[in-house]
Structure 1
Amino acid sequence: MTAVADARIAAPPKGSSRDLAGTGTLLKLALRRDRVMMPIWVLCLGLSASSTVSRLDSSYDTAAKRADLAADMNGNGSTRALFGAAFDDSLGALTVWRVGAFLCVFAAIMSLLIVIRHTREEEETGRQEALSSGMVGRRAGLTSALITVGIANGAIALLIAASLAGQGGRGALALGLAVGLSGMVFGAIAAVAAQVTENARVARGLASAAVGVAFVLRMGGDAAKDASDGSSHILVWLSPLGWAENARPFADERWWALLLLVALTAVAIGVAYALAGRRDVGASFFASRPGPPAGGPGLGSVYGLAWRLQRGTLLAWAAGLAFAGAVFGGIADGAEDFLGDSDSTRDTFIRMGGQEGLTDAFLASMVGILGLVVTIHTASAVLRLRSEETDQRAEPLLANAVSRVHWAASHLAVAFLGPIVILAAGGLALGVAYGAASGDLGGELPRVLGATLLQAPAVWVITSIAVFLFGVLPKFTAATWGVVGFVVAIGWLGPAMDLSQSVMNLSPFGHLPKVPGGDITAAPFLWMLLLTAALLAAGLAGLRRRDMSN
């Protein structure tokens, strides 16, 4: 009886400060692990706005030019959908229009990756359970992850505010807070996703889907209605990214819109903390259901197993890109009327999509965006190999008559063929939507679909880099996300920031022809395929020689 009483006294009450024991130590560990990638994210996002100001100032050096630009931008749904509305014609407001939406999206992506890495991924690998056996509280890991992402977003907000202070302190602070709070919102949503699933890959998928839905809602609302009259479409108000837009930096700031971001962040964090206190370490809040007593005939080989593990994600990506392609195709038909009157926007789309006509340039830029997004899926598909290895699920397979290369090939088949399926879905939707809007479905569909599928070799280069890291440098496999982030950032922000072609060529997408509309040559495709084959062979050779689970 005494022992039971002593145990009750020793056990920390639910919700006590002991739940946070060890938070400081875990925070130091998280900052150490992210000591390279987090500063890169912060510097890239924090300095993007200031470089955009310089370019706009040189291109539009008079108030009349800036006023015409703002009026042109707000006059067409195509550019409102992609960049958002311009609420004023000052340099600061035009900078917000040009890069504000993308900065919020990238801050969101950075945040969800950080939070998932230091919460669900720690539990999935078993490290959190080992730590919890010591003096580490139940919610310490979640708290340290949120503090880490708060530090990153705070640094981004301060850097943006400092770099744009010359354009107006209030507007600079409003933009910095809008970007930083957007990151915090999706970091908190990622924390919730980490509680409701047992798999880090699925948690990243859920959080990424939330970012995608928010962006599409904001994009659809801005395309449907010009917000220059002071009101926004209802779809914009359904998106946290729309709330950040409606903070209206450098345009009579609406500080109360930022409070919506704060409120959603607080609610999501509260939900994450509540769920974290009601589940076991390593488990999800919703208990996993037992599977059937016997596997189907498709699970009789490693290829069937890999397909079973990856098919849900693949089909979800295909559906998502089909939706995005339909939206892009629907707004492409009106692009030429607007882009012909806006020198800056025309130049940006020509840099993204080529010289062969403004509508083709717009379509090519949309095709390029679809290709960039698919790199996230292909990286995730390869990294599934690493998670299978570290979670000891690969070892039972390899103990049978299954070679390492055979096992890896089962997942790589999805990693290499999956992008074809996803790009085909996006290109088909883009071609159908644009062809129907332009009245030439039979002529436009084949060339738009073909242009989309030509993104595959560049995607495969990223796939092969992930395979190389997995096979040769397994401890650095997570660096694949850094490669993906770098490539996506160059593809999306590079044209708007007027980066040199030598910098753009650091991405494999910089070597692709600008299609539809541009000339196609075989050389870049051959070089990319050779590079893909070389990295793939090196990665598989390394996998055959190295120790597993290292």
Structure 2
Amino acid sequence: MNLLGTLLAHRIRRDRLQLALWILGTAGLALMATTAVADTFGDRAERESILRLTIIAPAILVFRGTPNGGGEGEFSIFLIFAFLALLAGLMSTFLAVRHTRGDEEQGRAELVESTPAGRTLPTIATVLHGVLANVALGVAITLAFALSGLALDGSAVAGAAVAATGIAFLAVGLVAAQLFRTSRGANGFSVAVVLAAYLVRGIGDALGQSSEDGLFRTPAWPSWLSPIGWTQRTEPFAANDLTPALLSIGVAVVLVGLVFWFQSARDSGASILPEFSGRDHAGPLLSGSTGLAWTLNSGAILAWAVDAAVFGALATTLTPLVDEIGADAPVIVETMRQFIGDDATLEEAFVTTFFTMVGILAAAAALQVIIRARLEEAHGTAEPVLATPVPREWWLGGYAVVAGVAAVVVLGVSALAAIGGAQTADDPGAVAGEALQAAVAQVPAVLVYLAIGLLLVSLVPRLAIPGAWSLLALGAFFGVFGELLGIPDWMHELSPFSHVPVPVDGEVDWTSGFWMLAIAAAGVAASVVAMRRRELVTEG
């Protein structure tokens, strides 16, 4: 028991900063969202009109949740619960892989296994660590909802539901760590499962049946395929039924049992799934460090591009509904226009809102490439490359080039999907033009995040990964949900996405865009200088 306590304490100490960022950041988003609902949508009639809008445009539910009434608590859950569950899933899978497959990759697990701890006790410590992290997250979210003035019982159910979702995905991450030989493969699979669960839940919500008054919606069967869909059925502040959350806990128990079985059937450092055999001879693409960076990241870039294509297609295929949206929920129209300017047309506001989401995906794709450079450094696999005549700044610069290409690919694919979807509009040429302008407008903001990632890797490498994702999450929340939730203007303007040069009344002012491009260029240059002057940091 003392040995288990030591292993658990080591994990808590090792993750103290990362978990603090995840937990406090997620709870902070919940607090801002619920507080802003009371300020922005204090009128119950306004909230009910927005909920009834989902009957006209059910695709909105893919990114929100299921309506369960027009009260402040129910409306807050409709807006933010699925996003909180998504963050809990990502936090949990990263934690699981880091302390299992990640430790095996770096040789730490083998050292611990040579002690009386053996192979089982470290995994038990990781499970306990993940459960405690999710309990802390659930408590923080409960406090966030309660501090905003919502009922304590509904707040507790919401916190417990998010924690149960995180525990289910913790088990998914542990299984992935057994299946794949590398932490990159395990993390990639885990993130794909979390995003798929979010999307499947959204599809089930969109295909569900609404009540006659439009204030309640019963999800369709696909939502039963998603842990987020299960816990969403707890209906905080409405039914307050924790029974569906038990399904998440039950699945987690089964998967953890599977983890121990897998672990007993494989050698340390091996994996359940065999590695794919590579080519006998490297192609011309692998003749340089930049080509290597592209090869390592091409699969992830493709995944981000597919997601962006969905948003791009929705941006234009839903434009025929904008007139109905304006008539049924004028508060949404007013909010979208505030986001890009009061003179914007309704179609411009609608398309720009969707392409801001695309910009976030493009920034995430770019940051993932930069973070991969940090992982290569931390795992020691960058050293053989740098042992050749490749300078450190050129090595990092290669990842910067690939990150820029990733952003262009994501934005380009979304623009092509939007042009295809524009054919359903009354004026396809005009809508396609607005979508293309909105896609190009995201480039400066995306490059700012690319520069931020490079600076973090160069200046504070140990904090680069949690710092980059945290800054992107805050920028996305302030930029996309800021106006909708009524946060202060100065907080909204902290996000680069609030300064993109989007089309307003047919015209585009690129002043802010040029400033962001200059900031990005300065950040990239500073990161190159910093990388040249520092030594490699091979510890995570």
TM-score normalised by structure 2 residue count: 0.88
1:187 corresponds to which of 170, 173, 183: 170
Q: For residues 520 and 128 of structure 1, what CA distance do their matches in structure 2 show?
A: 55
> Is the 8 Å Cα contact of residues 78 and 332 (structure 1) preserved in structure 2?
no
1:509 corresponds to which of 497, 508, 518: 497
> Is the 8 Å Cα contact of residues 85 and 166 (structure 2) preserved in structure 1?
yes
Report what 2:100 is aligned to.
Answer: 119
- Deviation per CA, 1:460-507: give whole Å up to 9, x if none: 222222212222333333232332333333334433432222112222
Report what 1:321 is aligned to.
Answer: 308
Question: Given the superposition, is the C-alpha separation of residues 249 and 346 from structure 1 closer, same or farther in structure 2, using an over 3 Å criterion?
Answer: farther
Question: Given the superposition, is the C-alpha separation of residues 200 and 460 from structure 1 closer, same or farther in structure 2, using an over 3 Å criterion?
Answer: farther
Report the aligned-residue RMSD.
Answer: 2.8
1:270 corresponds to which of 240, 254, 257: 257
Which deviates further from its counterpart, 328-337 or 409-418? Answer: 328-337
User: Does the alignment pair 1:423 with 2:406?
Assistant: no
Unpaired runs of 5+ in structure 1?
1-19
Counterpart of 1:375, as a letter, is: A
Q: For residues 80 and 549 of structure 1, what CA distance do their matches in structure 2 show?
A: 44
Counterpart of 1:498, as a letter, is: G
Report what 1:203 is aligned to.
Answer: 186
Aligned to 1:419, the other structure's residue is in SS state helix
> Is the 8 Å Cα contact of residues 320 and 426 (structure 2) preserved in structure 1?
no
Aligned to 1:333, the other structure's residue is in SS state helix
Aligned to 1:94, the other structure's residue is in SS state helix
1:40 corresponds to which of 18, 21, 26: 21
Q: For residues 271 and 344 of structure 1, what CA distance do their matches in structure 2 show?
A: 49
Q: For residues 485 and 137 of structure 1, what CA distance do their matches in structure 2 show?
A: 38
Which deviates further from its counterpart, 528-537 or 159-168? Answer: 159-168
Counterpart of 1:213, as a letter, is: A
Which deviates further from its counterpart, 385-394 or 534-543? Answer: 385-394
Alignment of 1:77-96 (within 5 A): 77-96=58-77
Question: Given the superposition, is the C-alpha separation of residues 510 and 135 from structure 1 closer, same or farther in structure 2, using an over 3 Å criterion?
Answer: farther
Count of matched residue pairs: 530
> How far does residue 61 in structure 1 lie from its aligned partner after superposition?
4.8
Report what 2:510 is aligned to.
Answer: 522
Question: Given the superposition, is the C-alpha separation of residues 291 and 43 from structure 1 closer, same or farther in structure 2, using an over 3 Å criterion?
Answer: closer
Q: For residues 276 and 52 of structure 2, what CA distance do their matches in structure 1 show?
A: 56
- Deviation per CA, 1:304-356: give whole Å up to 9, x if none: 32222222222222223223433454444324413443355445444555542
User: Does the alignment pair 1:137 with 2:108?
Assistant: no
- Deviation per CA, 1:177-198: give whole Å up to 9, x if none: 2222122222221222222223
> How far does residue 59 in structure 1 lie from its aligned partner after superposition?
4.7
Unpaired runs of 5+ in structure 2?
none
User: Does the alignment pair 1:338 with 2:318?
Assistant: no
- Deviation per CA, 1:144-173: give whole Å up to 9, x if none: 333333223212322333454564444223
> Is the 8 Å Cα contact of residues 116 and 190 (structure 1) preserved in structure 2?
yes
> How far does residue 420 in structure 1 lie from its aligned partner after superposition?
0.5
User: Does the alignment pair 1:475 with 2:456?
Assistant: no
2:158 corresponds to which of 175, 182, 190: 175
Q: Give aligned-pair identity as a percent.
A: 29
Q: For residues 532 and 368 of structure 2, what CA distance do their matches in structure 1 show?
A: 21
Question: Given the superposition, is the C-alpha separation of residues 318 and 65 from structure 1 closer, same or farther in structure 2, using an over 3 Å criterion?
Answer: closer
Counterpart of 1:106, as a letter, is: L
Q: For residues 425 and 213 of structure 1, what CA distance do their matches in structure 2 show?
A: 20
Question: Given the superposition, is the C-alpha separation of residues 263 and 360 from structure 1 closer, same or farther in structure 2, using an over 3 Å criterion?
Answer: farther
> Is the 8 Å Cα contact of residues 290 and 402 (structure 2) preserved in structure 1?
no
Which deviates further from its counterpart, 491-500 or 373-382? Answer: 491-500
TM-score normalised by structure 1 residue count: 0.87
Aligned to 2:265, the other structure's residue is in SS state coil
Report what 1:7 is aligned to.
Answer: none
Aligned to 1:281, the other structure's residue is in SS state coil
Report what 1:102 is aligned to.
Answer: 83
Report what 1:27 is aligned to.
Answer: 8
